[in-house]
A and B are shown apart, each in its own frame.
Chain A
Amino acid sequence: MSQTVISSHYPQIRICSIRMMKPETCEGLLNKLVEIPGIRRILLHGQNIPKVIPYGPARGIENVTDIKRRITVGSTSCDIRMLVGDIILELEDDCIIGVIKRVCDDFFVKFGFVMQEGTFIKPTPTMVDYARYGPKADPDIIGMTDPRSKEGPVMIKSREHGNNPEIRCENDALEG
């Protein structure tokens, strides 16, 4: 059986911070990243903060924490409800990797980070995706959300980049 490989020709990078990021910190970094033209998709990967206590005698009662937070990236708001460990970016081309590295270098001052290149977003639909989205699924949706989640991905609209300075091709900033 042949499988259609989706968006494999787009480079992907993963930013792993040494410490798990709170939503406020993640929001700050994302707002710097979305200013960079050429990022197709952003995937946040981290540990879930459940809405209700999932196990034990207290199962079912509301999980009151100060971690849950609605963040605003660009002009779009979304609820992330997790501590973020990795930020995965899919790029139009690898010329902006150096720019992203510089943004991260300036941003991570209290703790470090590692940037890697590879394939981090699921490239092909699985059986679960087929059951959820059907045979004509949008390729850009695949791998972007947990198929069991009722929430879909959030679209962040880009501004016109007519006034932005030309970005020089820099792609020698990877580790791992």
Chain B
Amino acid sequence: MKYTPQYGPGTSVVAENRRRQMDPSVELTKMRKIPDEDIVLILGHRAPGEAYKSVHPPIDELPEVDCPMRRLVKPTEGAMHGDRVRYVQFADSMFNAPCQPYQRTYSEMYRFRGIDPGTLSGRQIVECRERDLEKYCSTLIETEMFDPARVSLRGATVHGHSLRLSEDGMQFDAIQRCIMGEDGRVKYVKDQIGVPLDRQVDVGKPLDDDWLKTHTTIFHSLMGTPLREDPEYIEYLQRIHTLRTKYGFMPKEEKR
């Protein structure tokens, strides 16, 4: 029998959105186009047009090593060129942001190669080779996993995911990396660590509330879909909780 991954439990729209983002066979809807140069500017690791710095010679130039893993695993483009390992970090608002830290890690692990994610309650960092990072970032920013107002790139000073939104609907940011322009479009004026940019980077208009409510991957009892409306998800969570609690006592699921 061929195994078909389920990706996650649940019958609600939130559960469906989570599965959709995790399933690599689903092509995510492209919502905006951000030039590669702009992504390089927001990341702030190198100047646009600057050559990639490397930490080792290209793999083709390295001496042959008799290693079974090298024969099994094809290196990513960044690894092939010996790029440095760099990072991007996202902070996602609890108010119906289209992605969430844990969800981000699951999705990235299914969709990308050669990454090292770190997951926290309100932010998620992912490290990988610089060339790969820029490619992955364009997916993360241009598709439905990003909303200019409720998701933002924050290398440091990330506080804001659990706070009320500001008047213009933006997630609170103490160092105001992105601003809402007069034309209703969100523009980055600082890179992800807070260094002012030479020019503004336009990431488009925020998505409307109805769209966010139907495409979010977080449960929210006031703003969106409450968890209690998805009994299948609750059953799954309770099962995981029970097994974790009993872990030290040889967990065995009871026969029904």
Give residues in A with beta carbon < 8 Å to B.
17-22, 25, 47-50, 53-59, 61, 63-67, 83, 85, 110-111
Question: A111: which B residues are within 8 A, CB to CB?
Answer: 167
> Does B42 belong to the interface (CB within 8 Å)?
no
Q: How far is the CB of B75 from chain A (nearest CB, A)?
A: 28
User: Known: A57-B156, A66-B179. Is A22-B193 also a contact (CB below 8 A)?
Assistant: no
Question: B163: which A residues are within 8 A, CB to CB?
Answer: 20, 47, 85
Do A48 and B174 have beta carbons less than 8 Å apart? yes
Chain A, Cβ-Cβ closest to B155: A56
Do A49 and B166 have beta carbons less than 8 Å apart? no
Question: B157: which A residues are within 8 A, CB to CB?
Answer: 53-56
A47 to B165, CA, bound (A): 11
Question: B166: which A residues are within 8 A, CB to CB?
Answer: 19-20, 22, 83
Do A20 and B194 have beta carbons less than 8 Å apart? no
Question: B194: which A residues are within 8 A, CB to CB?
Answer: 53, 56, 58, 61, 63
Interface size on B, residues (CB 8 A): 20
The 3 A-B pairs at the shortest CB distance, nearest first, are namely: A56-B156, A65-B176, A55-B156
Partner of B165, one of A19, A54, A63, A67: A19
Q: How far is the CB of A172 from chain B (nearest CB, A)?
A: 25
A58 to B157, CA, bound (A): 10
User: Known: A22-B166, A53-B157, A55-B157. Is A66-B193 also a contact (CB below 8 A)?
Assistant: no
Tally of contacts, chain A with chain B, CB under 8 A: 67
User: Known: A55-B157, A56-B193, A58-B193. Is A65-B167 also a contact (CB below 8 A)?
Assistant: no
Question: A83: which B residues are within 8 A, CB to CB?
Answer: 166, 172
A92 to B129, CA, bound (A): 63
Do A58 and B164 have beta carbons less than 8 Å apart? no
Do B174 and A25 have beta carbons less than 8 Å apart? no
Question: A67: which B residues are within 8 A, CB to CB?
Answer: 176
Partner of B174, one of A17, A50, A58, A66: A50
Do A110 and B179 have beta carbons less than 8 Å apart? no
Q: How far is the CB of B165 from chain A (nearest CB, A)?
A: 6
Q: How far is the CB of A146 from chain B (nearest CB, A)?
A: 16
Do B193 and A57 have beta carbons less than 8 Å apart? yes
Chain B, Cβ-Cβ closest to A86: B164
Partner of B175, one of A17, A25, A50: A50
Question: A66: which B residues are within 8 A, CB to CB?
Answer: 176, 179
Chain B, Cβ-Cβ closest to A63: B175
B55-74 interface with A by 8 A CB criterion: none
Chain B, Cβ-Cβ closest to A62: B196
A147 to B31, CA, bound (A): 47
B70-113 interface with A by 8 A CB criterion: none
A64 to B166, CA, bound (A): 18
- 21 pairs from A and B in contact (CB 8 Å cutoff): A19-B165, A47-B159, A47-B160, A47-B163, A47-B172, A47-B174, A49-B176, A50-B175, A54-B174, A55-B156, A56-B155, A56-B156, A56-B157, A56-B194, A57-B193, A58-B156, A63-B194, A65-B175, A65-B176, A83-B172, A110-B167
Do B193 and A21 have beta carbons less than 8 Å apart? no
Q: How far is the CB of B153 from chain A (nearest CB, A)?
A: 13
Question: B174: which A residues are within 8 A, CB to CB?
Answer: 47-50, 54, 63
Q: How far is the CB of B185 from chain A (nearest CB, A)?
A: 16
B184-233 interface with A by 8 A CB criterion: 193-196
Question: A48: which B residues are within 8 A, CB to CB?
Answer: 174
Q: How far is the CB of A106 from chain B (nearest CB, A)?
A: 17
Q: How far is the CB of B243 from chain A (nearest CB, A)?
A: 38
A111 to B223, CA, bound (A): 14
